[in-house]
Amino acid sequence: MEISNSNSNSNSNSNSNSQHQKKQVLLFHCIESEELARKVAAQSDLINLQTIKWRSFDDGFPNLFINNAQDIRGQHVAFLASFSSPSVIFEQLSVIYALPRLFVASFTLVLPYFPTGSFERMEEEGDVATAFTMARILSNIPISRGGPTSIVVYDIHALQERFYFGDNVLPLFETGIPLLRQRLRQLPDFDKVIVAFPDDGAWKRFHKLLDNFPVVICTKVREGDKRIVRLKEGNPSGCHVVIVDDLVQSGGTLIECQKVLSAHGAAKVSAYVTHGVFPKRSWERFIHENNDSNKGFAYFWITDSCPLTVKAIADKAPFEILSLAGSLAEALQI
């Protein structure tokens, strides 16, 4: 009986400590990210939305005001950002730099899409690696009373970019792949699903997260002035092939992969990317014409890391949104 009571007390204390460790988070957000912020807050009673007045002076420079600034003293504070274009970065950085200085207990920056991530290297003298520039800017976020700022990023383009950040911040690199795995299990032809990577870089990036699926790897080869997509290894014949990558811009590589996979007998081809960037409305080339899914992609899954894209493609096949809200709510408790 004494052992049982001891275990019971121990479990009770453990549960109490676990509950005690949960923190109330005050979540601020930029204008673009309001819908995602509301979804994150809906995941937990411990997350409370806060507001900022986003205004501009006549000369176009931001005129910003953090509401209830004195009330956030001693509180755990987070900011959900969206660096969708250079024009919105400065106003958000102004808030990001201000919040930790308001005597908050801790500060977390949530930047689901790190926008300069694909510009991470120099190929010749004179190239500017803007991924390093952005990392340096974020590394200079002021330290809060609780210590360095935590920065949450999803599926950054190159893992070595974690070393671009300085010691004044703590980058937390998350992934949207669990959302894809969950969605694939819901498919009626799940037993015929195989994963394709458009190049060796995507394979290195994601294959360990999808090692329970058969794999096809494509590659790009140069023929004259053109880069042609070829099938490198694997057999897509008769399968539902899902191409996986971190982001999409124009979508040209995905389309070429789809053609190659179909030519090698794939029954269906779908795609998943964490970040649907789609500049210049390039998502339009994937839309099903007259609801015909026999040509092109059966499904195209993206997360809501790029809010402007989510708004643009709402209810347009073959696109489906896999929301990061639940994952973000969990990340805010780390």
Residue 290 pLDDT exceeds 80:
no
Give the Cα separation of 334 and 332 in Å (integer).
6
Whether residues 205 and 123 fall in one domain: no
Q: Does the residue 133 lie in any domain?
A: yes
Q: Does the residue 19 lie in any domain?
A: no
Whether residues 90 and 192 fall in one domain: no
Query: CATH no. for residue 50?
Result: 3.40.50.2020
Whether residues 41 and 161 fall in one domain: yes
Whether residues 126 and 184 fall in one domain: no
Nearest to 114 by CA among 95, 135, 129: 135
Whether residues 199 and 236 fall in one domain: yes
DSSP-assigned letter for residue 144: B
Q: Mean per-residue pLDDT for 2-26?
A: 59
Give the Cα separation of 307 and 32 in Å (integer).
6
Give the Cα separation of 37 and 81 in Å (integer).
10
Give the Cα separation of 207 and 210 in Å (integer).
5
Give the Cα separation of 255 and 249 in Å (integer).
12
pLDDT of residue 70: 95
Residue 223 pLDDT exceeds 60:
yes
Whether residues 43 and 60 fall in one domain: yes
Give the Cα separation of 227 and 236 in Å (integer).
22
pLDDT tens for 116-175 read: 877 777 778 998 889 999 999 999 999 999 999 999 999 998 878 888 999 999 999 999
pTM (two decimals): 0.90
Whether residues 169 and 44 fall in one domain: yes
What is the number of domains present in the chain? 2
CA distances 77 to 46, 102, 232, Å, are 12, 10, 47
Whether residues 95 and 218 fall in one domain: no
- Which structural domain, as residue segments, surrounds residue 156? 25-174+327-332
Q: Does the residue 311 lie in any domain?
A: no
